[in-house]
Amino acid sequence: MATGLATGVWFVPEPGTPATANTSAIRHFSLCHRGGGENCVVDGDTIWIGGEKVRLADIDTPETHPPRCAQEAALGDQATRRLQELLNAGPVTLADADRPTDRYGRRLAIVTRDGQSLGDTLIAEGLARPWEGRRRPWCS
């Protein structure tokens, strides 16, 4: 188990372990292509990490696959790229959400850096809204 932090080092609880149990691995996130990947960003609220698909449990972002209007497409692209920037900016922690998975089988987690949710950052920047148990439209 690592005892220090360095840019690019992630501290991620392994599935099935308490959120306080951390392991380390060096990660760099690219944008995902169809079918997912090892460490990449699918959209503003979904990532692949270590081959596992993870949904950020505290937010909802505009759809990009497929968007329902031009406004949703543009905002969804911004949210996706911003999440990639945030993930590549330094170490983060994944903490399990109230439920282990969503209806699509994705792991649900809150992603934080220094106690601050990356989801909250996206909300503050107008790129996401708090998750309220269901999606709401992004198109006017």
Instruction: Check if 85 is active-site.
Output: no
Catalytic residue among 63, 72, 82, 107: 63
Q: Is the pLDDT of residue 130 over 90?
A: yes
User: What secondary structure, in 3-state letters, does 37-68 show?
Assistant: CCCEEEECCEEEECCEEEEECCEECCCCCCCC
Catalytic residue among 52, 55, 107, 125: 55
Question: Does the active-site annotation cover 63?
Answer: yes
**CB 11 within 8 Å of CB 22:** yes
Residue of 72, 82, 106, 107 marked active site: 106
> Is the overall model pTM greater than 0.85, yes or no?
no
Domains belonging to the chain, first-starting first, are 9-130 (2.40.50.90)
For 71-121, how does the pLDDT look when each residue is reduced to its tens digit (9 = 90+)?
A: 999 999 999 999 999 999 999 999 999 999 999 999 999 999 999 999 999
Q: What is the pLDDT of residue 2?
A: 34
Q: Which residue has the higher pLDDT, 83 or 65?
A: 83
**pLDDT at res. 34:** 75
For this structure, is 106 an active site residue?
yes
Residues 6+ away with beta carbon under 8 Å from 131: 57, 58, 59, 60, 119
